[in-house]
Amino acid sequence: MDKPASNEQDKKLFQDRNFRWLAAGAIISMLGDQFTLIALPWLVLKMTGDPLVLGTVLAVMSIPRALFILVGGALVDRHSPKSVAMLTKYINTLLLAALAVSVFTGVLNVGMVYAFALAIGLSTAFSIPAGTSIMPHVVAREQLQAANGIFMGIRQMSMFAGPLLAGLLIALFSHGSDVGVVKDARGLGLAFLFDAISFAVSAWTLAKVAMREVHGRQGVNAAAQQSVKKAVGEGLRYCWKDDSLRTCFLYWAAVAFFITGPVQVAVPVLANHIGAGAAAFGALAGAHGAGTLLGMAVTGIKPHLRFGSFGSTILLIDGIIGILFMPMGLVQATWQGIALLLVIGTLGGFLQVNIYTWLQRHAAPAMLGRTMSLFMFIFMGIAPMSSAITGWLMRSVSLVQLFAASGALLVLIVGIALLTSGMRSITDARSGAETQR
């Protein structure tokens, strides 16, 4: 395992010019993302008033993102994370600027909204693997844990501030600004324009970042001569043949299928069941978000905190989360749900940073983009299925039964992994490819 990071190493991270440019761009870009996440659904509802149209627009955005993310990972490994990220930022700048102009001028129609959603989703399929693969090219290996914690903390804080600022902007500038079929046109257009500007600014800051030479990327030249299909297949074979990656990915796929749906669907229903409606939902979501931030902060304070091996730590924490999830259906007051979700969020935030860092350290540099894209595919591809199944199940089972069953399933998955897989033997040690450098 790595030696504990010293205070001097942490200072070097913040003194690193490249890291500061990358972080500055991330702050504005992540904040801008939240503006579109709020403005796009509001735009569809203001244009059509039809939740079904809203659902299909979001599906048009998310399905190609899940389908093409593996291709995005192959291109990242072929061309470098920075070059792919730069291209997607330019594309998103143009897309969102065009969407803003369409809203301002009143030429926008539902068909155009679908087209914009499809294009944004496709662009995201390439920007996500680029964004999750770039950090090892910017900071030293021993600083990855702290750097990932900072960036995930930035994302989490943007998820608090972004929706509030976006809602305020739309509310302040929308009164009496209906244009064509678009209601609240001025506020919505400004929200999309802000996101377009955020992409342009983050492209400028990313251009200032000098990439580090990462040993082990000799396979990039060979990858550049492969077809994208062959490169994707090679990435899948690499992840399957690596015992640690295969074990973790299968485990995370099971967790995503059985747990993400209840979190995304049942928690809002729980808030409504408590009786406080949107206020309760906001409090529950805020508690989970605050806990996630706290867990990410813990990784900075205790970057090498483990309970046995890396794999044993994952199993222990997931087991505790499953136990805490089981009584959620019995919650009768908002404060009870806040207490449970605060702890669950803290444990989950701690795992998020550690898992990202482990993947970035473990994967061979020439395979990093494809490895990270497969990891993201697990949650982007499987989570929507889990949510749909949860919604269907809630027609026939109670909240108490759903939360109890989901928590018990997570504990069962942990038990099966503990007894039948090699999860306990997975450590923070470098992969074989890395130790041979």
Q: Say whether both 200 and 277 belong to one domain.
A: no
Q: Say whether both 279 and 140 belong to one domain.
A: no
Looking at the structure of the chain, the number of domains it has is 2
pLDDT value at position 279?
60
- The pair of three-digit structure tokens given for residue 401, joined into one six-digit string: 């039964």
13 in a structural domain: yes
244 in a structural domain: yes
Q: Domain with 256 in it: what CATH number?
A: 1.20.1250.20
Nearest partner of 412 among 308, 336, 322, judged by Cα? 322
pLDDT value at position 173?
77
- The pair of three-digit structure tokens given for residue 398, joined into one six-digit string: 């109670």
Place of tokens 């870009």: 29
Q: Say whether both 132 and 249 belong to one domain.
A: no
Give the C-alpha separation, 71 to 232, whole Å.
6
Give the C-alpha separation, 264 to 270, whole Å.
11
pLDDT value at position 352?
87
Place of tokens 């990972």: 73
428 in a structural domain: yes
pLDDT value at position 69?
86
Give the C-alpha separation, 364 to 26, whole Å.
25
Name the CA radius of gyration of the chain, rounded: 22
pLDDT value at position 9?
53
pLDDT value at position 66?
80
Give the C-alpha separation, 109 to 43, whole Å.
11
Report which residue type is found at 121: G
Q: Say whether both 234 and 155 belong to one domain.
A: no
pLDDT value at position 214?
63
Q: Say whether both 294 and 176 belong to one domain.
A: no
367 in a structural domain: yes
Distances, alpha carbon 369 to alpha carbons 72, 135, 137, 283, in Å: 8, 11, 12, 36
Task: Provide the H-helix boundaries in 175-227.
Answer: 185-207, 219-224
Maximal C-alpha separation, the chain: 66
Q: Say whether both 147 and 242 belong to one domain.
A: no
Last-in-domain residue among 210, 242, 270: 210
**DSSP bridge partners of 389:** none
Q: Say whether both 306 and 422 belong to one domain.
A: yes
Confirm if 20 and 156 have CB atoms less than 8 A apart: no
Last-in-domain residue among 184, 210, 236: 210
| pLDDT tens across the length of the chain (437 residues) | 444 444 555 567 777 888 889 988 988 998 888 888 878 887 887 888 776 777 678 778 878 888 888 888 888 888 888 999 999 999 999 999 999 999 988 888 889 999 999 999 899 989 988 888 888 888 887 788 778 878 888 877 887 777 778 777 877 876 655 555 566 778 888 989 999 999 999 999 999 988 877 655 454 555 555 677 788 888 889 999 999 999 999 999 888 887 777 776 677 677 767 765 556 666 777 787 788 888 888 887 887 889 989 999 999 999 999 999 899 888 888 888 889 989 998 998 899 889 988 998 888 888 888 888 888 888 777 776 776 677 677 778 888 888 898 899 999 999 999 998 888 889 887 654 444 33
- The pair of three-digit structure tokens given for residue 330, joined into one six-digit string: 């019995």
- The pair of three-digit structure tokens given for residue 101, joined into one six-digit string: 């102009």
Indicate the Cα dihedral angle 244, 375, 356, 165, nearest 10°: -170
150 in a structural domain: yes
Q: Say whether both 204 and 319 belong to one domain.
A: no
263 in a structural domain: yes
Q: Say whether both 190 and 275 belong to one domain.
A: no
Contact residues for 190 (Cβ-Cβ < 8 A; gap 6+): 100, 169, 170, 173
Contact residues for 40 (Cβ-Cβ < 8 A; gap 6+): 57, 117
Q: Say whether both 130 and 97 belong to one domain.
A: yes
Last-in-domain residue among 176, 210, 244: 210
pTM: 0.71
Q: Say whether both 235 and 348 belong to one domain.
A: yes
206 in a structural domain: yes
Q: Say whether both 240 and 200 belong to one domain.
A: no
How many Cβ atoms from other residues are within 10 Å of residue 410's Cβ? 24
222 in a structural domain: no
Domain that holds residue 200: 1-210
